Every structure is written in C-alpha cells, then in structure tokens.
Amino acid sequence: MELKKSSKVISRRNFLKTATVAAAGIVIVPRHVLGGPGYIAPSDKINLAIIGVGSQGTDDMKEFLNIPDVQVTAVCDVFDEFKIWGTQTVGRKAAKQLVEKHYGDQSTGGNYKGCAEYVDFRDMLEQEKDIDAVAIATTDNLHAVAAMAGMKRGKHVYCQKPLTHDIYEARMLTAAARKYGVATQMGNQGHAGEGNRLMVEWVADGAIGEVREAHVWTNRPAGWWPQGIDKPTNYPPVPHGLDWNLWLGPARFRPYNPAYVPFKWRGWW
C-alpha cells in the first residue's frame, strides 16, 4: 500500500517516517480489503534490521518475527557464526537462515531470500534504504554508537540495556531522538514485566507502608559468567569469521583473546 495523493492512502511505514499527518482528508484502507482477513501488505509493515545477532539479539529477533506488522529485512553481526551456551549457533549467517526459513514457511512456495546480511552496521544503514527501524543487541560498547547512527538516518531505535557507558552519552542520544523525531525504547527484559510495574504501584500507593530498606541479590560473578579475572597474557590468532576491529568498535585496541569473546566481555566493561 503506497502513499498516493490521489487516493489519500498512507502506509504504516510512511506514517512512522513522517511522524505526523494532517487529520483531515486521510483514509486508511483496511488491510483485509486488499488481501483478505489477516493479510498485511508488505508496504504496510515496519522494515526492521537487527544489529547484533548473538545470544540476546537472536532471542529478540525471534520475538520480532512473531509480530505480523514487522518484517525483518536485514541482520548484522561481526561474527559469521559461533556457538553460545555450548549448543545454540548464532551470528549473522545463522540469523539470516532463521529469518528466511521463518518467512519461507509462511509463503506458498516455501522459498524466501529477502534477508540481507552485513558485517558492518554502517554499511547496512547506507545500503538498506527501506529500513524503518533498528533493534540493537551488540556488545555494550557499541550500543550508543549504533543507536546514534540509526537515529541520524531517521531510523526508530530499540536498544538493549545498558543504553550508554556514561551520562554524557545518554544525554547525546536523548537530544538526537528529539532532533530526528524518532521513536526509541530500551530493552529491560524482566524489569519491563507487568509484575515489576505492579510492585512500583503498590509501593507508591503505600500498600506495604513506608519502605525503609531494600535488599538486592545477584548470582554473579559465577562459573558461567566470570568477572574480575586477570588480564590475558597470551594472544592467539583471531578466529575465522570474526572481524575483531569491528567488534572493538570505539574501544581502545587490545589483542584478541577468548577471555573476551564471545560472551565474557561484560566482565571487562
């Protein structure tokens, strides 16, 4: 469904891009009129690119694939493929295969080849002109950089926590979101659940009386997530399929070591 002045039809994607439209004289044709009940025209979907498709990014992508209004059109990761948690294969090639199988299973012919893959998110933003939004689940050091790059190109942004490394970066992103008029959201996983919001309401309403003390518990560091370990002294070759320089991003250069990749990097953040 394309935006046409003569028919006064506006697509969901173009509505997001323009942010505001005149209330009078605009008619949105129901999607079932064009393609039957439940049908969503391709031009009425939000084209989404995923930046970072490791463990968390792949989980996020699977959720997005289940949203009828969203079309995952591109994936990006500095790793082509790698194992996480010992069993699951993730990375850009695995993500591309997952996306194309998902949409292929939904199509009549069972064959879908519409997901692009990139190593560098800057190349993706430059070449994929039809992207409406990006979901970011890279290593933490790239969150702010990727979010800013997306917003500067007018892309709406969903970014995993932590959004930034410091307050200054957070203020820069806030200013950019206002400047470019894009929608943004930070992924908080469990903290975004209904139970958490309900507890906040109870406390605010005084349901449990005055809160005088709070106890916080964490299961980290743990054997599966080591932190505070000694700096590596040996530097093996960078494994095939990993762009180490892009993985480092804005961080100061350091030689590759499996103590950082693919998962334990947060112990050094």
Reported as a single tens digit per residue, the pLDDT across 169-225 is 999 999 999 999 999 999 987 777 788 889 999 999 999 999 999 898 888 777 777
Check whether 226 has a pLDDT greater than 50.
yes
Question: Distance between CA atoms of 264 and 101, rounded to whole angstroms?
Answer: 30
Question: Distance between CA atoms of 192 and 252, rounded to whole angstroms?
Answer: 33
Question: Distance between CA atoms of 114 and 100, rounded to whole angstroms?
Answer: 7
Q: Which domains does the chain have, with CATH numbers?
A: 1-39 (no CATH), 45-191 (3.40.50.720)
Could you please report the per-residue DSSP string of 190-255? GGGSHHHHHHHHHHHTTTT------------SBTTB--SPPPP---PPPPTTB-HHHHHTTSPP--
Least confident interval from 107-111, 162-166, 245-249? 107-111
Sign of torsion over alpha carbons 174, 177, 183, 184: negative
The three-state secondary structure class of 177 is helix
pLDDT of 6 reads 38
Split at pLDDT 50, 70, 90, the class of 108 is low
What's the Rg (C-alpha) of the chain? 21
Average pLDDT on 8-13 reads 47
E strand or H helix at 184? strand 184-187
pLDDT of 33 reads 46
Residue closest to 9 by CA, chosen among 43, 46, 48, 47: 43
In contact, 245 and 251? CB cutoff 8 Å: no
- Predicted TM-score (pTM) of this structure: 0.80
